[in-house]
Amino acid sequence: MNQRARIIPVLTIDQQKLVKTVKFKNPNYIGDPINAIKIFNDKMVDEIVVLDITASASGRLPNEKLIYEMAGECFSPLGYGGGISTFDQAAKIFSLGVEKIILNSIVNTKPQLITEIANAFGSQSVVVSIDIKKKFLSGLRPHFTSGKNAGTEGIVDFAKRIESLGAGEIFVHDIERDGTFAGYNRDLIKLIAGAVSVPVVACGGASSHSEMFDIIAETGASAAAAGSIFVYKGQNTNSILISYPTPDDIVQH
């Protein structure tokens, strides 16, 4: 595996519950995010992303108590997104032990927040999640607020603009593949990775651990992220199993 490649579990939460969606809908209760982080610690994961998927849509502030508990428990770098709309909120979350702030909804209305955070904490600490799906007659568009609101820019133009504003990493999330095990959208990942110079994280539709390594090798992405493949036993969504590639898997790739 490329030294710079990363394999990232994504934990999606609704308030304080760990859930998993399909195409950003129908959240299925998985358990407690703190317990999941403890298990991932034992598996020595590269890093963990936590996304509160209902905070922005419901106008709810980031849950600082939960973020503090998760950061205190997590042994690997932790990224957090959900409900962040001000510089002060971001600064507070960094102070709780989070390494990366992940922005989505606020970028649609206040893109300058990317620059404000990058100037204060460094571009490497600011990630923008581009949640992508097709808009009728308009092609692929970035979406915001849990996929409810579509942007007007094409995805390449949007990716280039957020990079120019100071985003140090771009998290590409294919909404139509979320939770489906249908495989990554290779063309989409390759398109965005080829358009920007910052690291790109592929997310949405991972069918296996092996495919995560393949997507990095084939598209120019620097990391592969997933949710369902790490919390379900295979593709059985009725059976919970926290998993991660073994050291042998990593060596083989």
Residues with a known catalytic role: 131
Amino acid symbol at 201: V
Question: How far apart are alpha carbons 23 and 56 in whole angstroms?
Answer: 17
Question: How far apart are alpha carbons 71 and 44 in whole angstroms?
Answer: 15
> Which class for 106: exposed (0-12), middle (13-18), buried (19 or more C-beta within 10 A)?
buried
Answer for the pair 88, 106: CB distance below 8 angstroms, yes or no: no
Locate tokens 């979320």: which residue?
A: 178
Q: Which residues contact 65 (CB under 8 A, 6 or more apart)?
A: none
Measuring CA to CA, which residue among 10, 5, 36 is closest to residue 225?
A: 10
